[in-house]
A and B are shown apart, each in its own frame.
Chain A
Amino acid sequence: MQNQARLQLLGKRFLHELQMLAPLVLLILACLIPKISRGEKTQRYEFFPFSHFPMYSDFDERDYYVYVTDRKDQPIATETVAAVRSTKLKKIFDTELDSIQKKFKKRKDQLSAEQCRPGGDYTVKWLYENASTEARQLFDAGMPMRLYRIYITEEKGELVETPPQLVGEWSAGRKETVQ
């Protein structure tokens, strides 16, 4: 009898805990379920405000960053000029690479600079088209705008950067590169 009473109490407590944490369980499921977005890999699990929060879920042996320059290859401070951080440009470029890598059936880091060009061209074009009138005037003065990529990797206990690769170029009025 005592054991039965104990079990009943345990059961009641368990149900109580479950009831208390029901919103937590629902929110976790809601964050993990959205695999319905039609976008590429980086978009698939995103359904704002739900996300599977993939930041730093994997540490690759190499990673890259991008930056924008004018025709003289002088870097442009994109946040100062157009309120766009280089992290955002990298994400846009990376999303484009998702579809390019499918086409060539290669990993992103195996794609040549030439193969990346449609993604890079689109990224620079996006930056221009989403900029304010003042920012566009500054960009216009330095056309064509270019996108460079640099890989960082570890070699013999030191971080090494590869030489900049031209992965995108665009000027206002120019036709887009076909993917």
Chain B
Amino acid sequence: MVGWQKGDRPVSRSASARTFFNPTPFARWELVVMRMLFALVIWDSIPEAMNAAGVPQPTGLALFFPDMVIGFGKFFGAVWFKSAVAVLLSVYALGSAAVITTPLLLMVTVFAGTLTNSQGAITHHSQIVSLVLLAQSGCLIYDLIRHRRWRTGLLGQPVDREIHVAYVTQQAVVAGYMVSAYTKLKESGLDWFVNAARFPIQLKKNTRMAYFNELKEHGSDSSFLTDLPARTEALLMASPNLCRVIIGSGLVLEIAVVLALAGRVWAFFFGVAFVLFHSTISKIMGLDFDFNIYILSIFFILPGISASVVRWSRATTKRSK
């Protein structure tokens, strides 16, 4: 099993020995892989260009600094800006000066997201990326101030800090799902499960809107997916209880998701469950959960796989000896 590195200090062993929620003791190579993969996700989330000329329905920072948000939006199409972001991301991926690069990347994604969401059409597509960057920035700055390791803190990236950063990353993802569960229960109470039988209306609405995007039926690119939305709609209309079980399972996962912070096995279970759920919804409704799927794969599923691979390779080596 991957273990603690020399000099680790995430939690005192005596206190954590029998507690439920602890940071997973990732090995350095796992942290490097996660950081590099997440850098690619950040790159993917940054828009190539932003044409918005104003903020007709300002939200977030655009409420206070509308001109700054609009002005920043114009940078996204510029070559110098893309080059600067690429350099910033490369430094972030290498793990150097994370306390500087992470907040800067947060700023870039927040300006992009704020401008997009201030057009009168709120989207939560890339929100998870910014939420994760915010949690990481907070963790890094807190650690720097608390432990006053100015030299190593500013430029280096000790393993124990990276372990904490990975744990707050998982917490940011979990927070998003828990808030979503709270909103559902606050808006509809337990009636949500009863009303979930009306999901086919949403399904039809989304497939019709997907059609008008390209004037092409959603799912018609692949023979396997041909008529999948229509077949799903018919199945769910015929069996309201099946509909409640399938859609309700998503809310149950959201309610219980805090358990994903209890170690690799729990994280792996919830990661796989959410990725399956998002992928299914994405296929039948044409909705985009790419960033959720990427982040769940990197910070929840991958650690479970890597631990199994390490255990398996050690067992094989032992047997061969």
| Chain A residues packing against B (C-beta within 8 Å) | 12-13, 16-17, 20-21, 23-24, 26-28, 31-32, 34, 36-40, 42-43, 46-68, 75, 77-80, 85-92, 95-96, 126, 129-130, 132, 150, 152-154, 157-159
Collect the chain A residues with CB atoms within 8 Å of residue B179's CB. Answer: 28, 31-32, 51-53
State whether A62 touches B201 (Cβ < 8 A). Answer: yes
A49-B130, A52-B179, A159-B204 in contact; A88/B121 too (CB < 8 A)? yes
CB distance from A64 to the nearest CB of B (A): 7
Taken together as a complex, chains A and B put the C-alpha atoms of A58 and B123 apart, in Å, by 17
Taken together as a complex, chains A and B put the C-alpha atoms of A86 and B11 apart, in Å, by 49
Q: Which B residue sits closest to A31, measured CB to CB?
A: B179
Collect the chain B residues with CB atoms within 8 Å of residue A96's CB. Answer: 120
Collect the chain B residues with CB atoms within 8 Å of residue A46's CB. Answer: 59-60, 117, 122
Collect the chain A residues with CB atoms within 8 Å of residue B51's CB. Answer: 130, 132
A49-B110, A53-B183, A92-B121 in contact; A86/B233 too (CB < 8 A)? no
Q: Which A residue sits closest to B116, measured CB to CB?
A: A48
Taken together as a complex, chains A and B put the C-alpha atoms of A32 and B178 apart, in Å, by 11
State whether B174 touches A24 (Cβ < 8 A). Answer: yes
CB distance from B266 to the nearest CB of A (A): 14
User: Can you list 18 A-B contacts with CB-CB less than 8 angstroms, sorted by A residue number?
Assistant: A21-B261, A27-B134, A39-B57, A49-B127, A52-B179, A58-B187, A59-B195, A65-B208, A77-B212, A77-B214, A80-B214, A91-B120, A92-B119, A130-B119, A150-B208, A153-B201, A154-B198, A157-B237
Q: Tell me whether chain B's interface is mostly helix, strand or loop, or mixed.
A: helix
**Among A20, A28, A36, A39, contact of B19 (Cβ-Cβ < 8 Å):** A20
Collect the chain A residues with CB atoms within 8 Å of residue B212's CB. Answer: 65, 67-68, 75, 77-78, 86
Cβ of B113 within 8 Å of any chain A Cβ, yes or no, is: yes
State whether A59 touches B237 (Cβ < 8 A). Answer: no
**Among A24, A49, A57, A126, contact of B56 (Cβ-Cβ < 8 Å):** A126
CB distance from B31 to the nearest CB of A (A): 18
Taken together as a complex, chains A and B put the C-alpha atoms of A64 and B174 apart, in Å, by 31
| Chain B residues packing against A (C-beta within 8 Å) | 11, 15-16, 18-23, 51-53, 56-61, 63, 109-110, 113-114, 117, 119-124, 127, 130-131, 134-135, 138-139, 167-168, 171-172, 174-176, 178-180, 182-184, 186-188, 192, 195-202, 204-206, 208-210, 212-216, 233, 237, 258, 261
CB distance from A25 to the nearest CB of B (A): 8
State whether B209 touches A55 (Cβ < 8 A). Answer: no
CB distance from B234 to the nearest CB of A (A): 10
Taken together as a complex, chains A and B put the C-alpha atoms of A159 and B197 apart, in Å, by 12
Which of A16, A66, A68, A96 has its CB near the most chain B CB atoms (within 10 A)? A16
Q: Which A residue sits closest to B113, measured CB to CB?
A: A48
State whether B183 touches A39 (Cβ < 8 A). Answer: no
State whether B213 touches A78 (Cβ < 8 A). Answer: yes
Q: Which B residue sits closest to A46, measured CB to CB?
A: B59
Q: Which B residue sits closest to A45, measured CB to CB?
A: B183
Taken together as a complex, chains A and B put the C-alpha atoms of A20 and B20 apart, in Å, by 10
State whether B22 touches A20 (Cβ < 8 A). Answer: yes
State whether B215 touches A75 (Cβ < 8 A). Answer: yes
State whether B213 touches A79 (Cβ < 8 A). Answer: yes
Taken together as a complex, chains A and B put the C-alpha atoms of A29 and B135 apart, in Å, by 13
State whether B19 touches A16 (Cβ < 8 A). Answer: yes
